[in-house]
């Protein structure tokens, strides 16, 4: 019964958004009015819906008294109408993908295509945490059931995946997305369907600023966090006065550059060069020469892995290694590989990078999670970037704990908004608020000399304003 009612109301919601007025409640009103004007007994009533609806109304009517075919039928009808409309609120009906012993989560990320490295290990890491929970008996007696999909990190595929999970698999919530642009493409739909969604490991700037009710993300920090960290480290620790910035000419680069500029200018540091280069660049000579000509005393880089390596090589080639080089997290997913690719040890004489995770500071944590990963996927050594799949899963699990036994999408969102957890794996707290949808704002800065990583003292925090 309730299920059916819920179906009706869901259909209504869909139609409302499609601006077609065929809502069941309207039909009910017409029916009830007919009831009043022409009193008929239930048996010979031609309008199945009327009797049906009325009997339903009476079931739900607190006083439960039968309605006489008289003027007080009006009251009765209206009460019934109110009751039925109350039923229509999703809060009262159980949300799909949710039973007393199961929560269905749609988990997705790029499992094929050029950006597979963002998705493969992180997604498996998240999956592993959920299985851990299930092995420990689940949350409030509910086991987590996963529907895993491949979004290729392209807008079209991600939207298609999200729509499948929501309208066909009818999952309770969405957990996925490694590329901000792709997530942003699904954002409107997710909010329209009031479907809670937590990104897997996308930086997510354009999907969390401005915040929207149902979309949570940035569990390893936005580009704004990295930008702020680079800038603040340059100012506070290196005491730099003339900064050069190099980023890509895409959404990550834009966010990063904006923040770096804001943070540095606020603290009176001159930006002597700001270069935006295409991600598929083959020869970084030109930007390198321009930066060298500007004679900076620090270089902040928001580049991706391959260009970051090319840049570091040129930087050493042109004998600029006295100038500190600061690299944002996305450029160095695996420090060892980075060092191997750069080849030239001089390049890392004076090299720092931001890092959102605690595993560098605390070797035990790193080993713990690698061990766990190997126990679940014995045939694969994870790339160090696999940790980026952990925080989102941890937060989601925490939110389920907090939301308690009587779970609903709305109560889950409420729980997410109160989240403020210090996990063992992250550099800082993961927190949300009614007006905040980006989880992590603290990151470490790590010095890396090609062999060993040393965490610089202190945590570098984005103030939530710069670069917005």
Q: Where do contacts with another protein occur on this chain (CB under 8 A)?
A: 14-15, 17-20, 111-114, 116-117, 120, 148-150, 154-157, 159-160, 163-164, 166-168, 181, 184-185, 187-189, 192, 206, 249-251, 253-254, 275-278, 280-283, 285-287, 289-290, 293, 305-306, 309-310, 317-318, 333-334, 337, 340-341, 343, 380, 383
Shortest Cβ distance from residue 319 to another protein (Å)? 8
**Count of CB atoms within 10 A of residue 168's CB?**
9
Shortest Cβ distance from residue 286 to another protein (Å)? 2
DSSP state string for 402-432: HH-SS--HHHHHHHHHH-EE--SSBSS-EE-
CB nearer another protein, residue 147 or residue 394: 147
CB nearer another protein, residue 142 or residue 152: 152
CB nearer another protein, residue 149 or residue 442: 149
Tokens coding 171:
């999952």
Q: What are phi and psi of 392, to 5 degrees?
A: -60, -45
Question: Residue 88: in which H helix or E strand, if any?
Answer: helix 72-88
Shortest Cβ distance from residue 454 to another protein (Å)? 24
CB nearer another protein, residue 159 or residue 298: 159
| Distance of alpha carbon 334 from alpha carbon 64, whole angstroms | 67
- Beta-ladder partners of 226: none
| Distance of alpha carbon 326 from alpha carbon 353, whole angstroms | 5
Contact present, 288 and 314 (Cβ < 8 Å): yes
For 305, which DSSP code? Answer: H
Shortest Cβ distance from residue 345 to another protein (Å)? 13
| Distance of alpha carbon 330 from alpha carbon 308, whole angstroms | 9
CB nearer another protein, residue 84 or residue 291: 291
| Distance of alpha carbon 61 from alpha carbon 81, whole angstroms | 10
Shortest Cβ distance from residue 85 to another protein (Å)? 23
Shortest Cβ distance from residue 51 to another protein (Å)? 25
CB nearer another protein, residue 90 or residue 138: 90
Contact present, 280 and 253 (Cβ < 8 Å): no
In sequence order, which residues have a C-beta less than 8 Å from that of residue 383 and are 6 or more positions away?
117, 121, 333, 334
CB nearer another protein, residue 75 or residue 380: 380
Shortest Cβ distance from residue 304 to another protein (Å)? 9
């Amino acid at each position: 019964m309730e299920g059916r009612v819920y179906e009706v109301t869901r259909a209504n919601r869909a139609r409302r958004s499609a601006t077609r007025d065929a809502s069941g409640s309207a039909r009910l009103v017409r029916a009830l009015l007919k009831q009043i004007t022409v009193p008929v007994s239930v048996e010979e009533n031609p309008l199945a819906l009327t009797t049906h609806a009325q009997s339903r109304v009476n079931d739900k009517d607190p006083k439960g008294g039968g309605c006489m075919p008289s003027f007080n039928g009006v009251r009765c009808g209206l009460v019934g109408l109110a009751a039925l409309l109350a039923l229509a609120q999703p809060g009262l009906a159980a949300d799909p993908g949710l039973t007393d012993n199961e929560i269905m989560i749609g988990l997705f990320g790029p499992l094929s295509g050029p950006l597979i490295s963002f998705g493969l290990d992180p997604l498996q890491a998240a999956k592993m945490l959920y299985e851990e929970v299930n092995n420990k008996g689940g949350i409030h007696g509910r086991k987590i059931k996963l529907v895993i999909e491949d979004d290729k990190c392209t807008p079209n595929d991600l939207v298609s995946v999200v729509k499948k999970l929501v309208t066909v698999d009818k999952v309770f919530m969405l957990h996925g997305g490694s590329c901000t642009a792709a997530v942003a493409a699904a954002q409107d739909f997710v909010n329209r369907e009031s479907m809670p969604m937590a990104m897997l490991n996308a930086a997510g700037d354009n999907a969390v600023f401005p915040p929207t009710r149902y979309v949570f993300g940035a569990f390893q920090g936005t580009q704004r966090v990295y930008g702020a960290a680079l800038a603040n480290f340059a100012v506070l620790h290196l005491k730099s006065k003339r900064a050069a910035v190099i980023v890509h000419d895409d959404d990550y680069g834009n966010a990063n550059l904006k923040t770096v500029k804001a943070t540095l200018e606020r603290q009176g540091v001159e930006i002597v060069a700001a270069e935006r280069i295409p991600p598929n660049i083959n020869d970084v000579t030109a930007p390198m020469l321009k930066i060298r000509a500007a004679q900076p005393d620090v270089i902040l880089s928001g580049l991706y892995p391959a260009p970051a390596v090319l840049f570091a090589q040129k930087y050493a080639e042109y004998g600029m290694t006295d100038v500190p080089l600061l690299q944002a997290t996305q450029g160095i997913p695996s420090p060892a590989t980075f060092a191997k690719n750069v080849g030239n040890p001089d390049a890392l004489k004076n090299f720092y990078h931001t890092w959102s995770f605690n595993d560098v500071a605390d070797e035990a944590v790193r080993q713990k999670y690698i061990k766990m990963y190997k126990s679940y996927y014995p045939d694969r050594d994870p790339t160090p970037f696999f940790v980026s799949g952990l925080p989102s899963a941890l937060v989601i699990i925490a939110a389920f704990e907090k939301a308690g036994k009587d779970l609903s999408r709305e109560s889950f969102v409420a729980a997410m908004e109160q989240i403020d957890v210090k996990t063992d794996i992250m550099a800082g707290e993961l927190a949300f608020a009614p007006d905040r949808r980006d989880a992590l704002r603290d990151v470490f800065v790590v010095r890396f000399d090609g062999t060993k990583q040393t965490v610089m003292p202190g945590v570098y925090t984005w103030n939530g304003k710069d670069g917005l």
